Chain A
Amino acid sequence: MSARDDVLARVRASLTDVAEPDGPVDWAYGLPTAMADVVDRFVETVTDYKATVVRCGASELPGQVMRGLMETGARTVVLPAGTDEMLHRTLEMAADLSVRVDDGSLTAADLDATDAVVTASSVGIAETGTIVLDHGPGQGRRALSLVPDRHICVVRAADVVSDVPEAVARLATSVRAGRPLTWISGPSATSDIELSRVEGVHGPRHLWVILVEG
């Protein structure tokens, strides 16, 4: 018998006492969590994770991205394909910044030699301070927001939801379409040494979040 048939046969033999089909689970999925102001809470919880959060209007976005790159000391930056045109042009014009657009050919070593990445995002979660990328246009493949040491991440206020259930409900379409998801809550961190938290182990050590309102 193949291992597959063996394991399934064992599972079935173990469940002979189970006769009736599954009943419904007493849980209402996808409900929001009550809070005074979703966006304020998001700013509070993301900041709590030692990430920087900046709020701005749509027209200020390119300037705020420039500021994030300068303040984290980035000289080289990679942009995912599908990055906002206006933002792309502004960064390319900056004198002391070297900009590359990822066409899929950059190696891990190339990314390791790049200071920063700027990405868009899919959903923000207020209660947990989490940002989710579904790696659609402007969000890049997964390695992009991982290997460079600084991640400048743009979140639209309209994409911020109260809590995990609302986020999962929104993202289910992406998952069903086979897209990978990356959930980011603050910069890379460890608590493995006497449980004292250290920011930055293998992922980006700086997470700079720009919250675009209006």
Chain B
Amino acid sequence: MTATEQPRRDKDGRLTPAPPEWTTRPAAPFPEAAVKGLENQVQRANLRHATGTIRAKRARVVAEVDNWQDLRSAGEAIKNRTLRHLDQHLVTLEESLTKAGATVHWARDAADANRIIVDLVKATGEQEVTKVKSMVTQEIGMNEALEEAGIAAWETDLAELIVQLGHDFPSHILVPAIHRNRGEIREIFREEMGVYGTPAPEGLSEQPAELAGAARTHLRNKFLRTKVAISGANFAVAETGTLVVVESEGNGRMNLTLPETLISVVGIEKVLPTVEDLEVFLRLLPRSSTGERMNPYTSMWTGPSAGDGPQDVHVILLDNGRTNALADPKGREALRCIRCSACLNICPVYERVGGHAYGSVYPGPIGAILNPQLRGVENPIDKSLPFASSLCGACNEVCPVKIPISDLLVHERHRVVEEKKRHQLNQFEPAMMKAASWVMADHKHLEAAGTASSLAGKLLPIRTIGPLPGPLSRWTQNRDVPMVPAQTFRQWWKENHDERA
């Protein structure tokens, strides 16, 4: 880095743009956040367009594959087989990586992983790193951990750059800036690029090609001078220690090739037993995610390669809650996820409320089960997520590794209810259930209850019941409840059928 290229600090003294406030303080649970999402007309229009386009593309390329269902079953079986003996595969992966000349680190949680990363970067003496887009570094909040340590971490995927420069948070696994349109992107580039590096060119238009060109220029210097890069991995082959990164723009290749040091953070569920297993996933992933036969670039590397690419190669194997999910024989199925985002693109709830409403890096149907599994169901967001679904089941059909997402949502709902019972936070529901079970226990009880309620129907001249107080308000704030009829069904039956008979 030359003197003129020292990392700059913005007016708040930060090296990189500050993320939105809600990512650093407790966010709202889904029902509250969803209302905000629904009210955002621009986002809803952008999402409708984007998810509609990508759904059609996916359907077209999936239809090209004759044995698509067999391929899904193979993906499911390989992942299950691997997860069931994950300890053995992880030990093999560690051995292979070490043999290939990589340094292996283990991390129990985000704090462990971030400490290892900060120490590794500090050891190089660098103040700036570039990044390949990765979900796992989002999950551990790595950028903020590096910022606190005085190291600037730069996103190099176009969408991630838009999000980062926009002081924003990703809203989709694959297309993190899906909620932004071209006009908004132009404004972000014009206002922010110059604060942190090469400014946007004069007279930048809203044309996607020009906007992509501005990103290319802004990042090229960073690529050429960066000494340290950080990546995740889509797959890690235990047998050989090979890591695989799937991408489109070439920013991945830049990061994986040009620097001297490469640090890859790999969730322990990413492991595949053999090289041959890649044939299944390299067919399932691109068609399910971007709706392409193949993504433009896939890189595979096995430790450092003499005379080619980074010579100091580190791999961090991360748990961060994955063993919580693994411990639940049913919930374990979610760990098959290859982060393709097909379930987001098909989900009617996601399409309307957007990714931010899920309050986590994993939005959509898969996020609604993964987050409670990884983080538990104690906090208000994770407790609300299993209910963030209409259970329509469309996600089950598109999942390339056959995760039964709607079953798992029900399973997680059950866990949330159990948790609730355990803490006895809600006395109202057990009381209701007790009353209901008395009513249902005997037909005389049911008739008495029916007569009592129809009396209310006769006496009150209204058609719907408006907002109710107390715990029932959660139900009535979004719905009109029809008024109780003036006659019970039994009474109606008696009048209309018994006479004729």
* B175 / chain A contacts, CB cutoff of 8 Å: 191-192, 195
Q: What separation, in Å, do the CA atoms of A188 and B223 have in the docked complex?
A: 16
Chain B nearest CB: distance from A129 CB in Å?
A: 7
Which B residues are in CB contact (< 8 Å) with A187?
296
Q: Which residues of B contact A127 (CB under 8 A)?
A: 293
Listed from nearest, the 3 A-B pairs whose CB atoms lie closest are A203-B250, A141-B308, A183-B298
Given contacts A27-B280, A129-B293, A164-B282, contact A180 B85 (CB under 8 A): no
Residues of B within 8 A of A12 (CB): 87
Interface residues of chain B, those whose CB is within 8 Å of chain A, are: 46, 49-50, 53-54, 66, 70, 73-74, 77-78, 81, 84-87, 90-91, 94, 100, 105-108, 112, 156-159, 162, 175, 177-178, 181-182, 185, 208-209, 211-212, 215-216, 219-220, 223-224, 237, 239-240, 242, 248-251, 253-254, 256-258, 268, 275-276, 278-280, 282-283, 286, 290, 292-303, 305, 307-309, 317, 319, 323, 326-327, 329
Asked if A190 and B249 sit within 8 Å, CB to CB, the answer is yes
Q: Mark A13-56, 1 if CB is under 8 A from B, else 0.
A: 11101100111011101100100000000000100010000000
B157: A residues at CB distance < 8 A: 192
Does A112 interact with chain B (Cβ within 8 Å)? yes
Task: List 6 interface pairs A-B (beta carbons < 8 Å), by A numbering.
Answer: A12-B87, A15-B87, A22-B81, A167-B279, A182-B253, A184-B297
In the bound complex, do residue B297 and residue A27 qualify as a contact, i.e. CB atoms below 8 Å apart? no
Complex contact A108–B258 (CB within 8 A): yes
Residues of B within 8 A of A104 (CB): 307
Residues on B with C-beta less than 8 A from A163 are 283
Asked if residues A3 and B107 are in contact (CB atoms below 8 Å), the reply is yes
**Does residue A83 face the partner (Cβ distance < 8 Å to B)?**
no
Nearest opposing residue in chain B for A132, CB measure: B298
Contact B296–A25 (Cβ < 8 Å): no
Interface size on A, residues (CB 8 A): 75
The answer to whether B293 touches A185 (Cβ under 8 A) is yes
- Compute how far the CA of A143 lies from the CA of B106 in the bound complex, rounded to whole angstroms: 30
The answer to the question of A95 belonging to the interface, with a C-beta cut-off of 8 Å to chain B, is: no
A196 & B323 in contact (Cβ 8 Å cutoff): no
A130 within 8 A of B: yes
| Given A13-B327, A164-B282, A168-B276, A192:B296 Cβ within 8 A | no
With A49-B296, A179-B302 already in contact, 10 other A-B pairs whose C-beta atoms are closer than 8 Å: A7-B108, A14-B323, A15-B326, A108-B223, A143-B257, A169-B276, A172-B276, A181-B298, A185-B296, A202-B250
CB distance from A133 to the nearest CB of B (A): 10
Q: Given known contacts A22-B85, A25-B77, A198-B209, is B90 in contact with A203 (CB within 8 Å)? A: no
Residue contact B293 to A45, C-beta cutoff 8 Å: yes
**Which residues on the B side are within 8 Å of A128 (C-beta)?**
286, 293-294
* Structural contact, A178 and B305, CB atoms closer than 8 A: yes
Distance in angstroms from A137 CB to nearest chain B CB is 13
Assembly CA distance A198 to B214 (angstroms): 13
B172 to chain A, nearest CB (A): 10
Interface-centre pick from A49, A142, A143 (highest chain B CB count, 10 A)? A142
**In the assembled complex, which residues on chain B have CB atoms less than 8 Å from the CB atom of A130?**
294
**A186 to B294, alpha carbons, bound, how many Å?**
9
* Across-interface contacts of B251 in A (CB, < 8 A): 201-202
Which of B73, B253, B280, B327 contacts A146, CB < 8 Å?
A: B253
- Expressed in whole angstroms, the minimum distance between the Cβ of B126 and any Cβ of chain A is 16
Name the one of A172, A180, A185 contacting B295, with C-beta atoms under 8 angstroms: A185
A201 pairs with B158, CB closer than 8 A:
yes
Chain B residues with CB below 8 A from A93, complex form: none
Whether A29 and B276, one on each chain, are in contact in the complex, defined by CB atoms closer than 8 angstroms, is yes
Asked whether any CB of chain B lies closer than 8 Å to the CB of A125, the reply is: yes
Tell me if B329 and A108 are in contact (CB < 8 A).
no
Query: What's the least CB distance linking A15 to chain B, in Å?
Result: 7
B297 surroundings in chain A (CB, below 8 A): 182-185, 188, 203
Q: Does A86 contact B (CB under 8 A)?
A: no
Complex: A178 Cα to B306 Cα, angstroms: 10
A14 touches B254 (CB 8 A): no
A82 within 8 A of B: no
